[in-house]
Chain A
Amino acid sequence: MDLFLNLVASGLVIGSVYGLIGMSFAIIFRTTGVLNFAQGEVMMLVAYTAWTLTHTLLFPFWLLVPSTIVLAALIGMAIERLFIRPMTGQPIFAIVMVTIGIAITLRSLTTLVWGHEFEGFSVPFSGGVVEIGPVFLLTEQLAVLILFMAVSAMTWAFFRFSRVGMAMRATSQDETAALLMGVDSRRMSSFAWAISAIVSGLAGVMVSVLFARAPDMWHFGLKSFPAAILGGLDSPIGAGFGGLIIGVIGELSAGYIWNGLKEISGLILIIVILMVRPYGLFGEKELERV
């Protein structure tokens, strides 16, 4: 039982990371219909920038968080402005190909600027151990869980209640109608990229705290993609839960069956679930009025 609970806990931790990145996939997809394959790279870029802020520029932690959020938003908006907006009106497939190009460019760019070395990312709260019943968690693991819950709650509230969040949903459902309401759809796309860069950037910082700031961090983007598919690409909260499910299943199968299953068990689960619910667990199916 203790093993089970510990596996679930560490699954939830890694799942939170997947979930955050999955959420950022969903935020862009739901607003603009574009699948951003550079999500993992955006995450890496933000994490590297945050690392430079802490370790080179020696920002204190209370300053690090807001400045990372601002930088992430700027990075997201810049990518949207430079590469995505000029593609407006082109087929979605072409835009998705552009994001793959962005991914490769960002990957090379980060190694070019920061080099190949792994580096630790230290934050004031890391290093402690928290004991919750039979479950042992490192403080930074607990921080990931808390971050996940906070970001999920904020994302949910943003899309549900805020005027801009509602406008983003409206744009995804009917762009022309949204234009007729006075919504500037280009600005919505810019917001979506900014928010998604913030969410994945925070996940990136947590990955570097948990493991290391490393040039292969972008793998997390690919691993989180199944989370977004599982939860439903048009539902950020669903994508978040999808991440948790994939994380837990991965840890459990690695712990009880075979270590190699960690990477693939989530994918097997996806195949099964998508056969039953093609729009994902929490995705919205197309409404058809009878």
Chain B
Amino acid sequence: MLTLTNMQIVYDRVIEAVRDVSLEVPEGRLVALLGSNGAGKSTLLKAISNVLFPEKGEVLHGQIMFRDRDIGKTSANEIVRAGIIHVPEGRRLFPLMTVEENLLMGGYTASTAALHDALDKVYTMFPRLKERRKGEAGYLSGGEQQMVAVGRALIGQPRLLLLDEPSLGLAPQIIEEIFEAITRLRNEEGISILLVEQNAALALEIADYAYIMENGRIVLDGTASEIAKNADVKEFYLGFGDHGAKKSFRDIKHYKRRKRWLS
């Protein structure tokens, strides 16, 4: 459904954030993109939805194909119309607008009739938003804001959902609720999802396939279960030792914590 080939992205013409990245999101699958801070995951998502320009980012090389169409030069609003919807990191709600207005903004490109059905669907999915629909979005709790962000994306009726760290700064219980909703989107609605996460354990639990990014490159990829079994991933992302036992931090030499990948 979505195929990236040999993407190279720079900021300010010189700072290379992503180098030679190729990845694929098949129809109806949930693909996780994992990696630590500054690995270039969010940059990649912004490149897909073509909103790098406000930050002076630029795609130097590479091709982005969506449903057999090259969308590398397509403007952000056309990409939304094509069915790719991006939930940015840190939610990015419109803080002074009400919850309902935020949700309606998600359906900016949809027809009015479709909008009302979609709104009802989001309210059934997250009943808490219905109670708060007249309140200003800026005053919601982090979890509720994330629900609005996901709901806002759903109202646009995406074919492909780009989720940037939906678990960021949320309580574990809320994370569970959000991830349940994400899984349901794939299983029941057949929406393809590209999920960027730092919480590798959680993402691997629900993903079909995973890529691991470091320093702007993809260093490892495979089905989620393969990745979860990989010894290096276990040690560096999941915090387990070779034998599957939880490793004590006392045993980890700090210089070893930073893994160099040969690829």
Task: Check: B16 CB closer than 8 A to any chain A CB.
Answer: no
Are A181 and B156 in contact, with the CB atoms below 8 A? Answer: yes
Task: Check: B199 CB closer than 8 A to any chain A CB.
Answer: no
Closest B residue to A179 by CB, please name it.
B76
Are B92 and A176 in contact, with the CB atoms below 8 A? Answer: yes
Known: A176-B88, A182-B156. A167 touches B108 (CB 8 A): yes
State in angstroms the CA–CA spacing of A146 and B148 once bound together. 40
Closest A residue to B54 by CB, please name it.
A176
Q: Is the interface of A mostly helix, strand, loop or mixed?
A: helix
Task: Check: A87 CB closer than 8 A to any chain B CB.
Answer: no
Chain B positions 77 through 99: 1 when the CB is less than 8 Å from some CB of chain A, otherwise 0? 10011000110100011111100
State in angstroms the CA–CA spacing of A170 and B108 once bound together. 11
Task: Check: B109 CB closer than 8 A to any chain A CB.
Answer: yes
List, in ascending order, chain A residues with CB within 8 A of B80's CB: 180-182
List, in ascending order, chain A residues with CB within 8 A of B136's CB: 287
| Max chain B Cβ within 10 angstroms of own Cβ: one of A169, A178, A180, A182 | A180
List, in ascending order, chain A residues with CB within 8 A of B81's CB: 182
| Max chain B Cβ within 10 angstroms of own Cβ: one of A163, A170, A182 | A182
Are B49 and A287 in contact, with the CB atoms below 8 A? Answer: no
Known: A166-B97, A289-B138, A289-B139. A181 touches B106 (CB 8 A): yes
List, in ascending order, chain A residues with CB within 8 A of B88's CB: 176-177, 180
Those of A150-169 within 8 Å (CB) of chain B: 163, 166-167, 169
Those of A168-192 within 8 Å (CB) of chain B: 169-170, 173-184
> Among the listed B51, B96, B97, B138, which residue makes an inter-chain contact with A180, where contact means beta carbons less than 8 Å apart?
B51
The 6 lowest CB-CB distance pairs between A and B, nearest first, are A182-B80, A287-B138, A177-B92, A182-B109, A179-B76, A173-B94
Interface residues of A (CB under 8 A from B): 163, 166-167, 169-170, 173-184, 284, 287, 289
Given A173-B96, A181-B152, 11 more pairs with CB closer than 8 A: A166-B97, A169-B94, A174-B92, A174-B94, A177-B88, A179-B76, A180-B86, A181-B105, A181-B109, A182-B109, A289-B138
